[in-house]
Amino acid sequence: MRSRSECSAVVVCVSFLLAGLVLTASAQMAADLIEPRAGEWRTWVLASGKELRLPPPLDTQATATELPKLQALAGRRDAAALERIRYWDFWSPAFRWNEMLIDPRVAQNLFGPDGLRAFAMLNVAIHDALIAAWDSKYAHNRRRPGESDPQLATALPVPRSPSYPCEHAVAAGAGSAVLAHLFPKDAQRFAEAAEEASRSRVMAGVVYPSDARAGLDLGRAVGARVIESFKLDGTKWAGTVPVGPCLWQGTNPIGIDEMRWKLFVLSSAS
């Protein structure tokens, strides 16, 4: 039979063991999350990731009405739907938007500084939009649909991050806004692509419809900020071309106006 002191020692040891297990489990859960501090990363145009923080997502009662919709969509996944889900899931939320920029860029012969500026606008917008998305994700910590309904069959592995807002929808909103600005004749095509990208995550069962809607709105808002920030004043270089041996000869020198473009890292073009 153990003495009281021995029993106390056992209790203390068990308590420390349990505390250690809790801490280990907590650390493991934190380690499993995708970049929980990404909302604090540096932004280029937004003042910070929380500048456009979203309001809270739908409450528990409203969320319960979204789950049957996801169950119904899961039952309607055919080969074509699965192909589009995989298409938009490829590599990263930004991938397809950079891919889309290549086509009009080549078609319109934007191989000079204008083409580089187009890629800068697109990726700055997606970068800032995703940081804003991660700020809202961990500010609200909405559980993924499959966590609320373990019976929900998903078409993709469930991301280890909060559901709200949908990061692919955020990238789609930002990317489509910038591309529509750069190539207004194709604006409708880009808008339709953004809607499809957003729907693909809902069809996959990894986000709620309200997550996708919020993501598109947030991405478009960031895209609008970036477009405004990159706006040119329309003035043209009015200097004279130097004349002399071995110097370039001609008119309208390419790239001369680009020296006034906004800089992100350097303090001046010189």
Q: What are the angstrom distances between the C-alpha of 100 and each of 24, 164, 186?
A: 44, 26, 11
- List C-alpha distances in Å: 248 to 51, 98, 207, 251, 255: 47, 35, 57, 10, 13
From the CB of residue 117, how many other CB atoms can be counted at a distance below 10 Å?
A: 17
d(CA 222, CA 204): 25
Q: What is the pTM of this model?
A: 0.84
Q: Report the C-alpha gap between 225 and 172 in whole angstroms.
A: 15
pLDDT at 165: 98
Summarize pLDDT for 3-28 with one digit per residue, the tens: 434 433 333 332 323 233 222 222 33
Separation CA 20–CA 13 (nearest Å):
10
| Long-range CB pairs of 77-82, under 8 A, 24+ apart, other chains included | 77/155, 77/203, 81/203, 82/155
The residue among 176, 226, 224, 223 whose CA lies nearest residue 197 is 176
pLDDT at res. 15: 30
Q: pLDDT at position 1, please?
A: 43
Domains of the chain, each with CATH number or no CATH: 67-231 (1.10.606.20)
Report the candidate in 208, 178, 173, 211 with the shortest Cα–Cα distance to residue 193: 173
Of 123, 140, 148, 139, the closest CA to residue 66 belongs to 148
Q: For the chain, which ranges sit under pLDDT 70?
A: 1-31, 105-107, 109, 111
Query: What's the confidence (pLDDT) of residue 31?
Result: 52
Nearest by Cα to 215 from 97, 101, 129? 129
160-173 pLDDT, tens digit each? 999 999 999 999 99
